[in-house]
A = this chain, B = another copy of it.
Amino acid sequence: MIDGFLALYIFMLAAFCGYEIIARVPVILHTPLMSGSNFIHGIVLVGAMIALGHAQTPFEITIGFVGVLLGAGNAAGGYVVTERMLEMFKSSKPGAGKGDQG
């Protein structure tokens, strides 16, 4: 559907973006970043939805259903966990109130 070379360009540019954005990040953010990027590949949910939406035999539908289930878990879980971690980072900033964290 996408011309092979165009896909190659997009692969390359996206890879550079990801690499450049992460380069020079302090160690203390490694875990939230890992979890944040974990959330971002939760976009696989969209693909699983498309797969299930076009599945035809019961077997395909079953696999598609499991796929959507897993994808939804990735997206939702990744979000919650990342948000919880980053929330704490925020409250530790000097200047921010020290009593308002969970």
Contact = CB atoms under 8 A, between A and B. Distances in A.
Contacts of A16: 13, 17, 20
Interface residues of A, number: 11
Contacts of A6: 2, 6, 10
A24 interface: yes
Nearest to A13: B13
Contacts of A59: none
Interface of A: 2, 6, 9-10, 13-14, 16-17, 20-21, 24
Given A2-B6, A13-B17, A20-B21, 14 more contacts: A6-B6, A6-B10, A9-B10, A10-B10, A10-B13, A13-B13, A13-B14, A13-B16, A16-B17, A16-B20, A17-B17, A17-B20, A20-B20, A24-B24
